[in-house]
Structure formats: C-alpha cells, structure tokens
Structure 1
C-alpha cells in the first residue's frame, strides 16, 4: 500500500511479520550463547575441582545453573510457541509473547552471567573480588542493554 506521495505504508500484517522476523534474528544470537553457557555449567559438577566448592559456592552454582536453564527456556520458547500456533492466526499474540520471553530471557541471562562472574572470582581470588566482578558485570549489562537504548530514545 502507498500513500499519496508514493511512499509504502506498512500494513498491520506486514508490521507483525517484520516484528516477528526481527525478534527471530535477535533470538538466534542470544540462543547460541545461552545454550553454550548452559552446556558448560552442566559439566562443572563432573570436574575434580567441584568437590572443593564451599556450601555457599555450591548454592551460587545451582542458582546460576537454574538461571541459565530459565534463560534458555525463555529464549527458545518463541520458537516452540510459533510451532504450536503455526497458521492459527495468532501472530499478534505470538509477537507480543515472544517480546516478553526475549526481554525476560535476556534479563535472566544478564543476572546469570553476572552470577557466574561472582562464582569464578570467588573460587579464584576470594569474595571481595567476586562482589566487584558481579557489580561490574551487572553494571556493564545494564549500561549496554538498558542505558544506551534509553539514552538514544531520549535524544530523538
């Protein structure tokens, strides 16, 4: 469809298709990283050094493993939902649900990676550095994933 000046005006169906395709591209990038992280975390208990972890470190390990599995489930969920609803006329709901899953999944990934930073630093050099690494990681994710987009949104 074009307007009076010959410029293409996007229909609602075209907008939904474009939004869905953009979401899928974003999810492809995130899924690879979170799946590798989850696979890596699943192998850690089978390493000799795992027995050296303190009770607190084991709890943090289980928390970051759970976060990684949750992030994986959330970032892969839109694909499963699409498969279940294929050709059922649910594209508006699907785009909305995929957006929520992607947002929550990315938040879970950021918290999980920051938790992994805490765990690694705690094991290697102690709790003071672990908290600094956690804080720096969380700050970096927040600045890049929230701060910069908000800054850009406010300048336009």
Structure 2
C-alpha cells in the first residue's frame, strides 16, 4: 500500500518506493544522455571513411582514437543500467542495481565529457589550428566541469549544511 505523500515531498516514501523511484529517475536521466553519445559515436565511426580522413596528422589520429574509445566506453556505461535492469528483472535486488547503475552513469558521463572535449579538440585542430583547438577544448572542458560537477557538488554541500540529517 502506498504511503500518503505530499506533492514533491519524498519523506513519506517507503524504502522500496524510494529505491523504485530513484532507479526510474536514473533510467530517465540516461535517456537524455544516450542520444548525444550515440550520435557522437556514430559520427566518429564515419570519419575514417571520409576523403579527408587519410590526411590527418599523427596527433589528430591519436586524438581521434581517444575520442572514439571514450565515446564507445561512454555508450557502454550509459546503456549498462538499462541492460542490467533487464537481465536482473524480478531478482529482488534493486538497491544493489541502483548503486551499480549510479556508478556506471557517473563514470559514463565522465567519459562522455572526455569524448566531447576530445572531439572539440580534434575538429578545431582540423578546421582551424592546434593553438585554438587546445584553448577551445580547455574552455569546453572547464564549462562541463563547472556545470556537471562543481555546481551540483556545491548545491549538494549547501543542502547538507541546511539539513544535517541528509
């Protein structure tokens, strides 16, 4: 039986309800990240077959390889929670699945950031020059670190100061 719950207040959830909700929230969040990483990965798979692909410098080929691997690993990590959920369906271990899925998603987003920064580095180097490429990649990396890590951790720390029980 479902506990009475105020709108937006999860304090009345049972442990099972909380785990179910958190797992569904995580899977829904991954639905946002997956199309982007899959598009990047698909684009990277096509690059070697373009005419200009043979004209890449050794540095550009190395960056391409890092980007390709990062996109592949990010894709795998971001899909893993859904795959595990399906394989472990009705095994009565959602809490462990939620912990593994959270780690997988966090690591997947980290590797996705590497893929994005590397892709920016590669494309900017090919189209413009290496100096601008490093600068642009650094700015994009800093922005991702700020919005994906610094802001949420700052907000989390602030919330924990406001409510020491959580």
The two structures share one fold, judged by TM-score above 0.5: yes
* Cα pair 1:70 1:108 within 8 Å, conserved: yes
**Structure 2 match to 1:15:** 18
**Structure 1 match to 2:83:** 80
**Structure 2 match to 1:102:** 105
Are residues 1:48 and 2:74 paired?
no
* Cα pair 1:118 1:133 within 8 Å, conserved: yes
Q: Aligned pairs, how many? A: 153
- Relative to its length, the structure with more helix (as a share) is 1
- Counterparts of 1:2 and 1:144, CA distance in 2: 35
Map 1:74-153; keep pairs closer than 5 Å. Answer: 74-153=77-156
Unpaired segments ≥5 residues, structure 2: 160-166
- Counterparts of 2:51 and 2:134, CA distance in 1: 25
Moved over 3 A (4+): none
Say what the alpha-carbon RMSD is for the aligned residues: 1.6
* Cα pair 1:71 1:106 within 8 Å, conserved: yes
- Counterparts of 2:67 and 2:142, CA distance in 1: 18
Shift of 1:8: 6.6
Unpaired segments ≥5 residues, structure 1: none
